[in-house]
Amino acid sequence: MTTATTGTRAVKASVGTAHTRVEGRDKVTGTARYAGEIPFAELAHGWLVLSTAARGRIRSIETAPVLAMPGVLTVLHNENAPPLDTDYMGMLGKPDPTAAVFQHDRVPHVGWPVALVVAETSEQAREAAEVLAVHYEQEPHDIAFSADRPDAYTLDGFSPAVTEKGDLEAELGASATVVDAEYTTPEEHHNPMEPHAATALWDGGRLEVVDSNQGTTWVAGEIANMFSLDPGSVRVRSEHVGGGFGSKGLRAHQVAAVMAATVLQRPVRVVMTRRQMFSLAGYRSPTTQRVRLGADADGRLRALDHSSLSATSTVHEFIESSAGPARTMYDADAHHTANRVVRLDVPTPTFMRAPGEAPGSFALESAFDELAEKVGIDPIELRVRNEPERGPVSGLPFSSRNLIACFREGARRFGWADRDPRPGVRRDGRWLLGTGTAAASFGAGAGPSTAAVTAEADGTFTVRVNAADIGTGARTALTLVAADALETTPDQVRVRIGDSDLGPAMLAGGSMGTRSWAWAVTLAADELRERLALNTGVPPEGITVRSDTTAAIGALSQKERHSFGAQFAEVAVDPATGEVRVRRMLGMFAAGRIVNPLTARNQFVGGMTWGISMALHEEAVRDRATGGHYGADLAGYHVAAHADVPYIEADWVDDVDPEDPVGIKGIGEIGIVGAAAAVANAVWHATGVRHRNLPIRPDRVLTAGGHA
């Protein structure tokens, strides 16, 4: 452990040591308040009414009987709502107009917000909302997602839709071995524990929104744009967040709350129910993916083709870029990737933990396992033979790529060397046993942020950075980073986050949050430490240094920057019931410097658990007749629970990012990447049957047969 000195005091480095969450006591004792439970005087409650029609128009809304109900204050809908602006570029581009509620009579999908009933109490609002009669002019709807949609089209996301290198058909034709397979993943939902909730109020000419979101700079900017307000007049706070996973950006509930608070001139709270979250919170689109791999007899790839189709709504384009991981992972003489989308009468999907990488890695890493089987080479050795020197598509060097180190260390700990490659030959009573592996990668980026660090007169420090701790432990990580930069101990540092008044900062997304904020905190703290070294004393108001990382991040060289990982799973399959149990999992990651091993391990294990969930449980099923879901709740939509997760181990290899001031890369999303493929590959090893459609449900295992 390294030590630094401040004055005469030797201080141990905090980054890299395990710390429980600084707000942990507040959370477990209930002192920490979440957005839906912070008290406000004169609070009114809004309840959203969602469309039951899958496509058409609102013909009429019978508001009169509802307005006469106890406590009801108003009903907002398309005929009385104030106009909103959706023609702007926000932090992540054009907004999804789904959040701009009640602007027209068109209904583009089931679950479209059609009205907000506001009442004195939440119960009164709910009761009135449930009896509000909305009449629709229904039109035929189309929610049929399939690989052969003639209306599918290519769409750029945060990366180009299509990449092409070499003559694919020629290289496939010249390959000794070819894998050509189609994989599907279903519609999946975020389901954070804390539902989306917002309270809006006008206070002395300023709009204040107390919310649960992944970035208050982002959400405040969207609200200011949508309501045509001066950005300085909007304050969004989000102190504690019970999970987001990509779903907590600007959504209908905040906009409806702001609208109602403006109309009524009193505080209004809107909370989503779990069931409403299945329509209003975004979700991961289903995908259908074709992967073609062509290899020489020694396993070297001659051809790689990954083509993915996902769905979006008719009101906004969002693409699940599942063909993306192939652009990082493997090179080939001919290398083609394409992301396509089809517009359906469904809600707009959105970012969901490892968007693109999670479903894309299921297809690509399953196909790689199929190739290993066909060419008769161990799956890890096959990856070693196909390790690229540079970005397969970009041609850029990797900032660091420690994938093989993850495989070697993971294989050692998991006991891979003793593995018999033959499928369907291991038994434990009624269970067939198998093991599988898969690779993982996720982009390691950073976004511009500002921070302010204050040396207080009492010798402590206050850090102000508009970070979002969505359960990741970001607040604690930043405390450790600041303590090291200030050459002090974490107990001398208080970190203020989750308030747009703290100044602009990156959102908690793309696994970039902690790295982006830590960068800004480090810049400010370094300069403050230099000033304090001059020993001029600290005045009563303290000394504050501010930072802005825009220039530093803009000056980064062109490189391929990613975290990497190796996933291992052991499963047991009961061929009589079709049940699949994951017995153990190991994830080894190369994901930059690990700031707090305790919360980092939580992140990895959480992602891997979600991978098990993706492999075996999660699936939102839509009814073609109504366009809506069956079982839009946690009874109908299965997520992995404790009993599904007996033993998960996550660890990491040394992988300090040389270009980051703290060495961080980002760990938020990589835990899920490759996890579902590792489980599916283990199910093949157990049974001899490939499962290319997720989730691997008991009925699928039973109908697929295999070694019994």
Instruction: Name the residues that contact ligand MOS, by CB under 6 A.
Output: 214, 244-246, 351-353, 355, 509-510
- Name the residue nearer to ligand MOS (CB basis): 333 or 357: 357
Question: Active site residue: 560, 618, 619, 669, which one?
Answer: 669
Q: How far is the CB of 597 from ligand MOS (least distance, A)?
A: 22
Q: How far is the CB of 439 from ligand MOS (least distance, A)?
A: 20
Q: How far is the CB of 215 from ligand MOS (least distance, A)?
A: 9
Q: How many CB atoms are closer than 10 A to CB 89?
A: 9
Contact 229, 85 (CB under 8 A): no
DSSP 563-621: EEEEEEEEEEEETTTTEEEEEEEEEEEE-B--S-HHHHHHHHHHHHHHHHHHHHT--B-
- Name the residue nearer to ligand MOS (CB basis): 92 or 571: 92
Residue nearest to ligand MOS as judged by C-beta position: 246
- Name the residue nearer to ligand MOS (CB basis): 78 or 159: 159
Residue 527 bears catalytic tag: no
d(CA 38, CA 683): 47
3-state percent breakdown (helix, strand, coil) of the chain, nearest 5: 30, 25, 45
- Name the residue nearer to ligand MOS (CB basis): 284 or 327: 284
- Name the residue nearer to ligand MOS (CB basis): 245 or 684: 245
Q: How far is the CB of 162 from ligand MOS (least distance, A)?
A: 23
d(CA 488, CA 434): 49
Contact 440, 564 (CB under 8 A): yes
Enter the tokens of residue 367. 């196909």
Orientation of helix 474-485 relative to helix 513-533, angle to 10°: 30
Contact 486, 453 (CB under 8 A): yes
d(CA 580, CA 668): 27
d(CA 136, CA 113): 13
d(CA 442, CA 325): 8
d(CA 558, CA 606): 31
DSSP 249-313: SS-HHHHHHHHHHHHHTS-EEEE--HHHHHHHS--BPPEEEEEEEEE-TT--EEEEEEEEEEEE-
Contact 34, 192 (CB under 8 A): no
Q: How far is the CB of 230 from ligand MOS (least distance, A)?
A: 28
Q: Tokens 């570029």 map to which residue? A: 89
Residue 694 CA, chain-centre distance (Å), reads 19
- Name the residue nearer to ligand MOS (CB basis): 447 or 663: 447
d(CA 609, CA 607): 5
Q: How far is the CB of 511 from ligand MOS (least distance, A)?
A: 7
- Name the residue nearer to ligand MOS (CB basis): 666 or 695: 666
Q: How far is the CB of 266 from ligand MOS (least distance, A)?
A: 33
- Name the residue nearer to ligand MOS (CB basis): 214 or 476: 214
Q: How far is the CB of 352 from ligand MOS (least distance, A)?
A: 5
Q: Tell me the longest C-alpha to C-alpha distance in the chain.
A: 79
Q: How far is the CB of 507 from ligand MOS (least distance, A)?
A: 8
Q: How far is the CB of 248 from ligand MOS (least distance, A)?
A: 8
Phi, psi (degrees; rounded to nearest 5) at 564:
-135, 165
Residue 47 burial by Cβ neighbours in a 10 Å radius (0-12, 13-18, 19+): buried
3-state secondary structure of 447: coil
- Name the residue nearer to ligand MOS (CB basis): 350 or 547: 350
Question: What's the CA angle centered on 459, arms 456 and 464, to 5 degrees?
Answer: 40
| Residue 118 Cα distances to 5, 202, 231, 620, angstroms | 58, 17, 27, 30
- Name the residue nearer to ligand MOS (CB basis): 545 or 600: 600
| CB-based contacts of 705, cutoff 8 Å, min separation 6 | 689
Active-site positions read: 669
